[in-house]
Amino acid sequence: MTIRPIQADDTERLKLSHDRLSPESRYRRFMSAKPHLTAADAQYLVDIDGCHHYALVATVAEPEGEAIVAVARFVRQPDDPRAAEFAIVVGDHWQGQGLGGELLGRLADAAVTRGVERFRAMMLSDNVSIRRLVERLAVQVTHRSGSGNVSEVEFELPTRRDGAGPAPAIIGAWGGS
């Protein structure tokens, strides 16, 4: 497995990765039914500037070529450049193995080096997996609210001097850079 920044030529790999997700995983990521990524969706998701919009992918080698199995991204908030909304999705067969924590930790490192101090996210209230990832990564939750089945959270990101972040057992468990 390799973890790397998303690339402009990942459009088709990203669409195939989305198609392989279960309907439940798609719903948890987009909070709506999204059976397929449109060409415009996929283009937006790979067209990053590396500063305000940044994304990592986890890939594995398959007979047909490299396949994306997980994606984590942040998009800086226009109203507050020190905050960014993050999103993460891990393919069904790879869930529960620490990949989400590894990606979120690396995403937080990338965000902090780019001047982002806080992550924001909207999530389904019953999404226990993402809530646990946030609890492990957050230095301090600065905002939490909920309405119906959707929750919103904002939290401070760890810096290298904080000593916070993913559990040491996760770091180094995945290859790549």
Q: Which CATH architecture has domain 2-156?
A: 3-Layer(aba) Sandwich (3.40)
Tell me the average pLDDT across 90-119: 91
Which of 69, 68, 86 lies closest to 77, judged by CA? 86
Largest CA distance in the chain: 45
pLDDT band at 174 (very low <50, low <70, confident <90, very high): very low
Task: State pLDDT tens for residues 40-85.
Answer: 999 999 999 999 999 999 999 998 889 999 999 999 999 999 999 9
The pTM of the full predicted model, rounded to 2 decimals, is: 0.81
The confidence score (pLDDT) of residue 96 equals 86
Per-residue model confidence as pLDDT tens digits over 24-44:
888 777 766 778 888 999 999
Q: Residue ranges per domain, the chain?
A: 2-156
Q: Is 119 exposed, middle or buried (0-12, 13-18, 19+ CB in 10 A)?
A: buried
